[in-house]
Amino acid sequence: MGLPGLLDELISTVAKANPKTVVVNQSGKLPLTFPRRLRDNPAFLNFRAESSRILYGEDVYVGYRYYEFADRAVLFPFGHGLSYTSFTFSDVSVTAAAGGRLIVEVTVNNTGAVRGAEVVQVYVAPGQKARVNRPVKELKGFAKVVLEPGHSERVTVEAQTKYAAAYWDETSHQWCVEAGEYEVIVSDSSAVSDKAVRGSFKVDETYWWIGL
């Protein structure tokens, strides 16, 4: 797993000495981003009050959205996690189905030597210049899969197109979905690695909506 120092060797030695040792393969993911420096935090320049009012200058760039917008290298990205095994993603498909559903399918393969779990994370990125400032991409769905070594499984993540592509229009006070092509990125964290796979979907015309 690439632990610091000699911890990998220590764990292996302890496991050999006690064959009843149970090694649990972790699969948790970070719900936030760890910055490299305090001043890289999106709230660093806004942590103050003026006339007893706190100004939230981050705008829509909260959490991982800010680090991507500002092109800041991070220590650990949103969605990051460790495992004793490894996984690959392949054969992604994106389908616009009836009822405004967006269905993303991807094949996940356990390429390591032990049983493990992976969280498939689906991000959506506007494929064109939006009329308003928007994040580079946003998480729109996820699914967890448990696989034996050498096994693969087709994983499905479903979302609603109106949620996946919308932004809040402050002028009309409604949600807006702009026409155009949107990129779908399937990855294991917000830091898109070489294992990420991509697809796309298209919205034919711009529309607004309100409610749920």
| Domain-located, residue 49 | yes
Closest CA to 74 of 85, 86, 83, 66: 66
CA-derived radius of gyration, the chain: 21
Q: What contacts 144, CB < 8 A, 6 or more positions away? A: 27, 117, 118, 119, 120
Task: Supply the pLDDT for residue 34.
Answer: 96
**Better-predicted residue by pLDDT, 49 or 177:** 177
| Domain-located, residue 25 | no
Closest CA to 86 of 147, 7, 144: 147
Q: Is 8 helix (H, G, I), strand (E, B) or coil?
A: helix
- List pLDDT tens digits, range 121-155: 999 999 877 788 899 999 999 999 999 999 999 99
Q: What contacts 202, CB < 8 A, 6 or more positions away? A: 96, 180, 181, 182
Give the distance from CA 160 to its chain's centroid: 17
Residue 26's H or E segment, with its range, is none
| Domain-located, residue 135 | yes
Q: Is 119 helix (H, G, I), strand (E, B) or coil?
A: strand
- List pLDDT tens digits, range 60-99: 999 999 999 999 999 999 999 999 999 999 999 999 999 9
Residue 178's H or E segment, with its range, is none
Q: Is 182 helix (H, G, I), strand (E, B) or coil?
A: strand
Residue 118: give the domain boundaries: 34-209
Separation between Cα atoms, residue 90 and residue 199, nearest integer Å: 11
For 10-23, what is the mean pLDDT? 76
Record the pTM.
Answer: 0.87
**Count of structural domains within the chain:** 1
Task: Supply the pLDDT for residue 3.
Answer: 65
| Domain-located, residue 2 | no
| Domain-located, residue 4 | no
pLDDT of 57 over the 90 cut: no
| Domain-located, residue 63 | yes
pLDDT of 177 over the 90 cut: yes
| Domain-located, residue 137 | yes
Separation between Cα atoms, residue 165 and residue 13, nearest integer Å: 51
**Domain CATH code at residue 46:** 2.60.40.10
Answer yes or no: are the C-beta atoms of 198 and 104 closer than 8 Å: no
Task: Supply the pLDDT for residue 102.
Answer: 97
Answer yes or no: are the C-beta atoms of 148 and 104 closer than 8 Å: no
- List pLDDT tens digits, range 89-129: 999 999 999 999 999 999 999 999 999 999 999 999 998 77
Separation between Cα atoms, residue 163 and residue 138, nearest integer Å: 11
Q: Is 139 helix (H, G, I), strand (E, B) or coil?
A: strand
| Domain-located, residue 133 | yes
pLDDT of 50 over the 90 cut: no
Answer yes or no: are the C-beta atoms of 203 and 177 closer than 8 Å: yes
For 20-48, what is the mean pLDDT? 87
Task: Determine whether 16 is exposed, middle or buried from the number of CB atoms within 10 Å of its CB (0-12, 13-18, 19+).
Answer: exposed
